[in-house]
Structure 1
Amino acid sequence: MKPFFSLALSVIAVSLLSTLGAIAAVGPGQQAVIDHYAAAAKASDPAFKGFSADRGKAFFLAKHSANPDTPSCSTCHTTDPKQMGQTRVGKAIDPMAVSVSPQRFTDLDKVELWFRRNCNTVLGRECTAQEKGDYVTFLATQ
């Protein structure tokens, strides 16, 4: 029984440290943006329980059918958000991961501008507050 308890405690400790590491990557600027989207998500859905980096990653990698030229975020931003991306016309895009580009997602007006443009291009519609918050949460933990 003692080895099982020790193993379980180790698993919990590693999980907690991983979570704390992910949370530590979110700076005050990103947290303000996340808080803004949390308030908007709660206003549109009172059952809102919080953002998920896993949902954000799935959204980032998902293939959307609205535009065959840019079917996913990763079409331009690559599947590794720590790497440079490239627009369809060849312009370089700085990495999306906050660990590599710490100023990402710190200016709400800029974030909204890019979400408006890119969500319409990729999805053919505006992103929801839930999608935006999940997306920022994912990239803030990368």
Structure 2
Amino acid sequence: MPSTSRPRPARRPPGRRACAATALLALALGSLMPRGAQAAPTTPQALRDAYAAAAGQPADAARGQALFTARHGREWSCSQCHGQPPTQDGQHASTGKRITPLAPAYNATRFTDDGKTEKWFRRNCSDVLGRACSPAEKADVLAYLISLK
């Protein structure tokens, strides 16, 4: 008996689903690599600058601090888990899991991998804001975190 199922459409190439801002950010970061390739090391400053370029405006540490400490009508703020200022170990509000310092001056591995940075912005912005962070918000938060010495 012949199958009545429809043929599956061809799979889209990786990266086709990315929005224009993500593509611009990836270009700015120089991280358009084949699937499975390791991310090139970066710096917090390079990430901040790439997000600011994608936003079309300079990063602002004061706006970043305000975003970091506010609740935004949700259950948590960034500072509840990461501390204020985020220069010491923090603790996840619901799991109790230890979180290493977020400020790059206190944790040299922070914001040195653009893939990890995007992953954590995606997760944390969803928890704190209930939506994705804009490139401007990411640039501002990074500017604030970089300013902590």
In structure 1, what is the equivalent of residue 143 of structure 2?
A: 137
Aligned length: 106
Matches within 5 A, 1:89-108: 89-108=95-114
- Matching residue within 19, 31, 35 for 2:49: 35
Q: What are the Cα deviations for residues 78-136 of structure 1, in whole angstroms up to 9, with x where unaligned?
A: 11211110012111000111111022112111110000000001110000101000001
In structure 2, what is the equivalent of residue 58 of structure 1?
A: 66
Matches within 5 A, 1:50-89: 50-66=58-74, 68=75, 70=76, 72-87=77-92, 88-89=94-95
**Which of these two proteins has the greater Rg computed from alpha carbons?**
2
**TM superposition score normalised by structure 2:** 0.67
Distance 2:90 2:72 in 1: 18
Matches within 5 A, 1:110-121: 110-121=116-127
Distance 1:94 1:38 in 2: 25
> Which protein, 1 or 2, shows the higher relative CO under an 8 Å CA cutoff with sep ≥ 6?
1
Residue ranges of structure 1 left out of the alignment (5+ in a row): 1-27, 43-47
Question: Root-mean-square deviation (CA), in Å?
Answer: 1.2
Larger proportion of helix: 1
Distance 2:80 2:139 in 1: 20
**TM superposition score normalised by structure 1:** 0.71
Letter in 2 for 1:81: P
Q: Which runs of 4+ in 1 moved over 3 A?
A: none
Residue ranges of structure 2 left out of the alignment (5+ in a row): 1-41
Distance 1:30 1:131 in 2: 14
> Identity rate of aligned residues, in percent?
47
Distance 2:60 2:49 in 1: 13
